[in-house]
Structure 1
């Protein structure tokens, strides 16, 4: 239908000249094809060449390569580098990309709205990864160095959410970390070791959190240099504290955009970091830690169990559900705003409204 409409449009305008002919029409279309900006199939406009896969052998041709945890991959950085040499159109910006690794259970959620919420949570992660990047460290975890190295506390960090780089260092680290988990034949023994190491640990099971703290304590020289324990920035905010602050946070950011016209300019997502840096000097007074009015990075809905539905009795499902709707729509607005739309009511996911140009001038 689109092709027919385009063809009809070209025919309509070209044939306003009574002397036009099929030859003129063909000539006009060939002239349009000569403009790279109008030729949407031109390779340079597409960024990557998905029709190019040379016969040079790569790690995909290695029969022993496996993505299971039980079979470690070696020389991963070189394998990726070699593949990119044979596929140069994919190499641009490779160091700034984020690999999103997520997961979901193999069966539908017991909670009727659970699958919908998981899909929106996944979309939110994709939005973030599409817009942002990281550098300098290979693993970022919410934690406090003094509680690890001075207090030797197994709750000195939270391993439930972390950022990890797609590189050989990460694969080596994950192999070591996983060797302390349930798939390891030494799992029971690791549980005893961790319980004896951390005096306040009640249960003898080896868990990802205590295992990570153990590696930082016992193999600090090997791993700690590439692991950043985020303790200044509110890396993952407790949802009960975050949800009630969203309206105030939105007002603060709108005040900045009213005062700084350049900050509210509509722009391509690819240059979002420029506008983030522009906004940063106006956010200094907000701080970074708990209680900051910066936009939250990660909101952790501890105890809500959106898929299983068996939420903690500390919270009502209504509060959990409303909180998730508000946070997801708040995050959506950060993407929609640049296209001139918004959720005016954070509790109403169904309604998206257009914004006036140059809003909020």
Structure 2
């Protein structure tokens, strides 16, 4: 049976039963002669009497100490924390127009981001608990992913209708979120008035530890698989503002669980309000053109950023681009309600691309054009390493990308 780490939820609290198998004892060569020690006299050959020649591949003696110090310095640096991203859709085909096509494009967007950042993606199409369908289906698969991937430090849930629109941004897991077990996006003013819209359940990242298992179990007990589901619906309607339905959804349950148990859960929960850990598409779409212009202006002044590079070097160039943009483009890294930085995630809540039952507040044109615009905006960041870009913000055809574009202004 798969085992998760104990209640200590920091690094180094991994299950000791999942250690590395010890290396087998090295066999002696035939004839009983001992193997030469690395760096010993047997590692050299004679060219002429009195002259030692170093074998190819071994560092000269004066560099050994320098390399050892470099290896020690690298060993002291903490490796990146391993992340498994989880997303999914329904088992049946989408009834909405072009719903399956849109879900494929949303999936391709997540695959691109995960490939560039070294993240493993788990995409699920099954209801692991039949009663926990629709928006409640995320809890069983996130819990199952924790047990199936004990090597992962974090499990990152991202709704199927969420688009990564900043392919350079990496989550500050080892710095900003160190010491926390749950990170979700929230709106401060809505949290203050206890609105069920105060914390979004469509995108969250949770540490793979026993605290998180217990939290998911407590969250799930408010869902339709448990007999208290109907009672919780009335409680959430009475306790949370803007909640006019007596049906307990996953988001209202999450908001209630956190806000009314903050003394117990708040020490390990981080509600992100400074950047678009999950940005609402209605606040973002009209600003993408300005974001593009701002980034191109920075790249015109930085020749190194205009150089075409291999995709495997994406993170190095992403760090250089973020450093150049930091002082030139207003706004927080990851985007925000102010400034012109790229938003990390653009979430198309209410558009319902699969079912087609969008919120009547939004028109079909605004949802369709918004999803296409965000997907192409992200695709252009990926296609750049391959030497292409889209012809226009809402044009699916691509054009060859000249070298060192955008060109510097004379």
Structure 1-normalised TM-score?
0.69
CA–CA separation in structure 2 for the residues paired with 1:171 and 1:86: 28
Tell whether the 8 Å contact from 1:96 to 1:133 is kept in structure 2 after alignment.
no
- Which one of the candidate residues 311, 317, 323 is aligned to 2:370? 323
Counterpart in the other structure of 2:20: 85
- Counterpart position of 2:55: none
Work out which of the residue numbers 134, 139, 144 in structure 1 matches 2:187. Answer: 144
Which consecutive residues of structure 1, in runs of 5 or more, have no partner in the other structure? 1-58, 66-72
Q: Is 2:207 aligned against 1:160?
A: no
Pick from 270, 286, 293 the counterpart of residue 331 of structure 2. 286
Q: How does 1:1-361 map to 2 (within 5 A)?
A: 59-60=1-2, 75=6, 82-83=17-18, 85-86=20-21, 95-130=80-115, 131=117, 132-135=170-173, 136=177, 137-145=180-188, 147-148=190-191, 150-198=192-240, 201-267=243-309, 268-287=313-332, 288-349=335-396, 351-361=397-407
Deviation at 1:180, TM superposition (A): 1.3
TM-aligned CA deviation for residue 193 of structure 1: 3.2
The alignment covers a number of residue pairs equal to 287
Higher strand share: 2
Task: Give 3-state SS (helix, strand or coil) of 1:221's partner.
Answer: helix
Shift of 1:75: 4.2
Contact 1:180 1:187 in 2 (8 A): yes
Inter-partner Cα distance in structure 1 for 2:20 and 2:185:
36
Query: Offset of 1:334 from its aligned partner?
Result: 1.1
**Match of 2:53?**
none
1: CA distance, partners of 2:339 / 2:16: 41
Q: Which residue of 1 aligns with 2:135?
A: none
- Report Cα offsets for 1:196-230 as digits up to 9, x if no partner: 43365333332222222222233223322232212
- Please give the secondary structure, in 1, of the residue aligned with 2:83: coil
The answer to whether the 8 A contact 2:298-2:325 is kept is: no
Structure with the higher helix share, 1 or 2:
1
Cα separation, 2, equivalents of 1:327 and 1:101: 21
Answer whether contact 1:98 1:129 (CA < 8 A) is retained. no
Question: CA separation of 1:170/1:261 partners in 2, compared to 1, >3 Å: closer, same or farther?
Answer: farther
Any unmatched runs of 5+ in structure 2?
24-76, 118-169
Alpha carbons of structure 1 residues 80 and 103: separation in structure 2 relative to 1, 3 Å: farther
Where relative contact order (Cα < 8 A, 6+ residues apart) is larger, the structure is 2
